[in-house]
Structure 1
Amino acid sequence: MGYSVKEIANMFQLPTHTLRYYESEGLLPPIERLPNGRRIYQESDVRRIRMILCMREPGMSVDSIKRFNELNDLGDEALLEKRQIILEQKTQIEGKIRELQYLLGLLNRKLNHYDEQLANMESASSREP
């Protein structure tokens, strides 16, 4: 079964130009085309796009994804380098999680402060005659 560029764009909530960009940058293999020139994406392309998005979401560079794809094509001889790329990505994500946890802590402390102020205001107004 094949998918049109519009179907893939809807599936992943991406602009169609992003899919064309991924292909032009070599993140995707050349996409099969119908006789009229329209792209037709296969299940293997869907899996590759899913992987690209998984890597791009936390900020992996296009060059790193290209390198990872090249290594995938080499098979088991590239396992160590593929592992290193994924480990670096994991480390970046863990850093972002720590940053977000810190920011969440700041927001929670601020909310607690405001909740205390509101409670004090309510308490003071209930004591007034």
Structure 2
Amino acid sequence: MRICEISDMFHLTQDTLRYYEKIGLLDPVSKDKKGNRDYQPKDIRRLEFISCMRDAGLSIQVLQKYIELYQQGDGTILERKNLLVNERDKLIEKQSLIHKSLEKLNYKIENYEKILNKKI
């Protein structure tokens, strides 16, 4: 697939895709006869993972560390697992904070609804 298609698929700029390749989040992408990037299924799977992890709040640095460990092979499985557990725990904490914020917003909205209904 061409870079413009991948860009649309993942809602990432072409510059971001090139950057991910430059910093090692993506392996060097193969190129067609014209020298254009030609993303393969393995690249798409990696981008799906990266996008999911970025949506979850993982930093570029954490993803770089994870990819580095992954490329070192099975000897790093425990370290990779621990990295992901740590990031999951951060996400759970963030989820809890978001839930509390939503409760407060809903409370305020309900109060305003009550006030507005009394004025009608």
TM-score of the two chains, using structure 1 as the length reference: 0.87
Measure, in 2, the Cα distance between the counterparts of 1:56 and 1:114.
36
Deviation at 1:88, TM superposition (A): 1.4
Q: How does 1:34-113 map to 2 (within 5 A)?
A: 34-113=32-111
Show CA shifts across 1:60-114 (max 9, x none): 1212111111221233211110011111110111121111111111111111111
Deviation at 1:8, TM superposition (A): 0.6
> Which has the larger Rg?
1
Q: Percent identity?
A: 34
Cα distance in structure 1, aligned partners of 2:116 and 2:57? 40
Deviations 1:21-63 (A, max 9, x none): 1001110001101232110000000000011111111221212
Amino acid at match of 2:22: S
The two structures, once aligned, show a CA RMSD in angstroms of: 1.2
1:31 is matched with which residue?
A: 29
Kindly provide the amino acid, as one letter, of the partner of residue 11 in structure 2: Q
Structure 1 portions without partners, runs of 5+: 123-129
Count matched residues. Answer: 120
Structure 2: 5+ residue stretches without partners: none
> Normalization by structure 2: what TM-score?
0.93
